[in-house]
Amino acid sequence: MRWLFFLVGGLLAAQDQRNVTEPHHPSKYCATLEARFSTEQDTELDTARVQSAIDRCSPGQAVRVAPHGANGIFVIAPISLKPGVTLVVDAGAAVFASRNPRDYDLRPGSCGVVNKEGRGCQPLILADHAPDSGIMGDGSIDGRGGAKLLGQNVTWWDLAHEAKVTDQQQSAPRILVVRQSDNFTLYRITLRNSPNFHVSVDRCKGFTAWGVRIFSPKTARNTDGIDPSSSTNVTIAHSWISTGDDNVAIKAGNTGPSSHITVEDNHFFTGHGMSIGSETNGGVSAVRVRNLTIDGADNGIRIKSDRSRGGLVRDVTYENVCMRDVKNPIVLTMHYTNLAGSKIPDYRDITLRNVNSVTPGTSSILGVDKDSKIRVTFDSVFAPGKTRAEHAEVKIGPRAGDFVPGGDDVTVDRGSSSAGHVGECSFPSFPALDGPSTKIIVPEEDHTIYVAADGTGEYSSVQRAIDAAPDSGGVISIAPGVYREVVTISKPNLHLRGASNDATKAVIVFHKSAGDSNGTFNSATVNVRSDDFVAENITIANDFNSTHPQLPQGSQALALSVTADRAKFQNVRLLGNQDTLYVGSKGCSPGNGEPCTVTRQYFENCYIEGNVDFIFGDGKAWFENCEIHNTPHQGGYITAQGKHYASEDSAFVFDHCRLTAAPGIHDVWLGRPWRAWATVTFANSDMGDHIAAAGWREWHPGETKYLETAMYSEYGSSGPGAHPSERDPHTHRLESFPLTLTEFFGGWNPR
């Protein structure tokens, strides 16, 4: 990057208000400690002598840790800095964190575990009410996040991944926490391999990080670089940050606002980019990000919040930013999570100037609604690729680039803007890390895409995760939560998996109906159109009838529409009333004639509820060990299978299923033929007393004669609804049920 900048002198009010210049090492040392070890060990810690030296030091002085001959390693458990005292780590020296979780316990046994509570660890280094302190030097501090914990066959990063997979909280220490310690300085130090955040800055007036190097593998979860929170007069300059999470994240939660922040002349690599949020309810203002390269990160420029933690973000400028191989170059979102709340985000006076993504990516500009829009200016911004935008007021200029978002409720004011210029970009490599290093186990890249309504995953929307999945497919893990959205599967080999075995925990729900969406087939909450799809441990619902009466016309409201071949549903709950589930073949339409492309669907251990034709279509579907439940509605029909022609190879089979109903429901029919060649078999199924004695009914009695050609059969029915001697005479009583899944599906075994 060849843009010049000036950090000292003539500072504007809308950034760090201090006159920040390059720091320097203290002139007085109260103690110099020499390393005793040349290799890693955890039996003789240096905690006591380092802490003792700090405690004896006077304000304005420093404690120095230095190599001694071949020895350069210090191993410590948590220590605390005191006011005015600086810790200096000389070149060739490395401070390693203890691998014993008990050294970090806030409560007995609270650190090094995964549970619902989290937050059970002390940081390695704490500056609490320690103004004018700092950490400097050309040495390194290593959190050993990828080293096996003592007494456990896991690393800190393994615990972080376990927490992500199980939707729980990890308890892992941060390298440095600076809390209410004004005018703290980080200078030239290398921080690496933190178990959690590298640097957390909380409620500080004056914080400087200059020439700092921060490194953790991109696969190490929650290893943020520097996170200033509820702080003012912050400068992060001339630093190199490569992590597994936010490179820098400016936060402002319940403890107060963040303001007057300068992030200048830095280089970011892997990570989640230059972020503001997700907590913005305290207010973020007067932020200047200038002369930044971002190379290989998941996100570039990102402001993230939502209704549960939103607030005013204003007077933020990004200038002279170059990005390469960034998946999501620009992300301004008020939908970071799906959590409810009244803390509506408000982004205004946001400016991007001279911003250039040299490779394509996917950008998002997502306001809340028409009353809560994002207000942003793009001045010579170039970000090729896809863009999703809604509820935004966009100003272009004074120079136009190629980034002009459009979408629902997006207004664009081009004014009299002239053509912008693509700035020249250069991308330096991360500097070599010198000095003693620790042995770490780099986490393997997890190709699973994680969705969490509370923002702890990579996405808070199931559909956005699907959009981000490779065209060849992938696994999407859905954490407990309610995802109110319409989902469409248009990529093969996708697997939606609830993180909990309890399918009630992860719910995808929407409220469209035939009456308001131009037909039944446009009303589905989830649409599965591509082959080799799998869903497990989730609920798919259409709750239209929770707010609307169920009427004879217009109340059809699909939870799931599936026209994919080889689609599997295991431990899935489908909730609706009329037309809950459509299983259909491809290429078929009324009067279209032969041939249809018959598709195969398998449902195992599922719960499906509804009342009128709530399992319908012409797919080839097998339901095994499922509960089929009738919701309140007098009378009703479980199935409405409907072939388009006699030789169409489609059918429904219910094997070892349970037919249940809400209290007081009766006169429910096993099915009625949607078309003349309907084919349905119930085998080995237990039927409640709500099932009508005749079992099967004509589509329109007195008008149609589909029962004469339909193939309705039963084998081994049991329960009070079996009525073996009272079934409609068109019912076929099978003497055996020899079909196997592989035979039924023509060679495909979904198990």
What does the alpha-carbon distance between residue 231 and residue 722 come to, in Å, rounded to a whole number?
Answer: 71
- Match 């007085």 to its residue by tokens: 28
Classify each residue of 24-57 as buried b or exposed e, where b means 16 or more C-beta atoms within 10 Å of its C-beta.
ebbeebbbebebebeebebeebbeebbbebbeeb
Let me know: does 217 contact 443? Beta carbons within 8 Å.
yes
Give the residue among 271, 303, 321, 272 at the shortest CA–CA distance from 430.
271
- Cβ 181 vs Cβ 130: under 8 Å: yes
- Told to judge if 644 belongs to the known catalytic residues of this protein, a careful annotator would answer no
Q: For residues 327 and 692, what is the distance between their CA atoms, to the nearest angstrom?
A: 57
The candidate with the shortest Cα–Cα distance to 332, out of 354, 349, 308, 319, is 349
Ramachandran region, residue 329 (left: φ > 0; alpha: ψ -120 to 50; beta: rest): alpha
Q: Which strands, in side-by-side order, build the sheet including 560-562? A: 487-489, 526-528, 560-562, 581-583, 612-617, 636-641, 668-671
What's the number of CA atoms in the CB half-sphere (13 Å) around residue 253?
Answer: 10
Contact 616, 574 (CB under 8 A): no
- Measured at the alpha carbon of residue 25, what is the angle toward residues 24 and 31, in degrees to the nearest 5? 170
Separation between Cα atoms, residue 740 and residue 412, nearest integer Å? 60
Cα-based distances in Å from 9 to 6, 17, 21, 625, 684: 8, 10, 9, 74, 84
Q: Output the CA–CA distances (angstroms, integers) from residue 425 to 238, 323, 381, in the order listed.
A: 17, 8, 13
* Peptide bond between residue 278 and the one before it cis (omega within 30 degrees of 0): yes
Q: Are 273 and 249 in contact (CB under 8 A)?
A: no
Q: What gap in Å lies between CA 492 and CA 628, rounded to an integer?
A: 28
Separation CA 224–CA 198 (nearest Å): 6
Cβ distance 494 to 473 under 8 Å?
A: yes
Distance of alpha carbon 257 from alpha carbon 284, whole angstroms: 6
| Count of residues in the chain | 751
Nearest to 343 by CA among 277, 410, 411: 277
161 is catalytic: no
How far apart are the C-alpha atoms of 259 and 283, rounded to whole Å? 8
Cβ atoms of 44 and 100 within 8 Å: the answer is no
Please tell me which residue in 138, 245, 618, 655 is annotated as part of the active site.
Answer: 245
Catalytic residue (one of 272, 335, 690, 730): 272
Contact 160, 220 (CB under 8 A): yes
How far is 141 from 163, CA to CA, in rounded Å? 25
What's at 538, amino acid-wise?
I
Query: Active-site positions?
Result: 245, 272
